[in-house]
Amino acid sequence: AQSVSQHNHHVILSEAASLELGCNYSYGGTVNLFWYVQYPGQHLQLLLKYFSGDPLVKGIKGFEAEFIKSKFSFNLRKPSVQWSDTAEYFCAVHGSGNTGKLIFGQGTTLQVKP
Amino acid sequence: GAVVSQHPSWVICKSGTSVKIECRSLDFQATTMFWYRQFPKQSLMLMATSNEGSKATYEQGVEKDKFLINHASLTLSTLTVTSAHPEDSSFYICSASIMGTEAFFGQGTRLTVV
């Protein structure tokens, strides 16, 4: 069965610290991978996505993620977090050619202390 | 990016009544929309895939007679929670994708059944 696992449920960092959120997936085929962010009281927004090509993907707000096929991983990174990055982060996957149906990870709450 | 709008943003209803939630793609046509449910501090769980002009496809464990989905046009899908009970209280989110690629999410609807 398809599944997505996020290792960190709650992360607390100080401003300027580096961030890495883990994401592993289980899917028997070619996948498209996503990271979404949900700021408090707001709807989900796309941070970045991977469909094919360069496995190192750069997204908005200084975020990047690396697709490592052999490890079934798509970890999210940011070199220096800001207080405004406090939010819920979701990793998601759907199969290539899929109509857009997403399977989400459990989510990671990031709290950045000023 | 494309805009998906949900209405209402929040609703409180009495137990036993029905509630309709609308999901509109404002600037694109969506042949497929998706309905998710998000419990507090948890991830999004796909409830069903809404297909324009045909019956929705429900995920395992989702009661189709309780969660009625209608996708009458290329820009509108509705979710009706019938005979709502307190356990149906949740955050409901819709999404639509363009050509099966990136999914755009509505702002969500917080349903509280009292």
Q: What is the pLDDT of residue A97?
A: 60
| Chain A positions in Cβ-Cβ contact with residue B105 (cut-off 8 Å) | 36, 43-45
Tell which residue, B23, B22, B13, B36, has the closest CA to residue B84: B13
Q: What is the pLDDT of residue A63?
A: 97
Model confidence band, residue B88 (pLDDT cutoffs 50, 70, 90): very high
Q: Is A102 on the interface with B (CB under 8 A)?
A: yes
Q: Tell me which residue in A45, A100, A103 faces B100 most closely, judged by beta carbons.
A: A100
* Beta carbons of B19 and B12 less than 8 angstroms apart: no
Q: pLDDT tens, A2-60? A: 789 998 899 999 999 999 999 999 987 788 899 999 998 788 889 999 988 999 999 99
Distances (CA, A) of B49 to A8, B34, B56: 29, 5, 6
Q: pLDDT tens, B17-45? A: 999 999 999 988 888 899 999 887 778 89
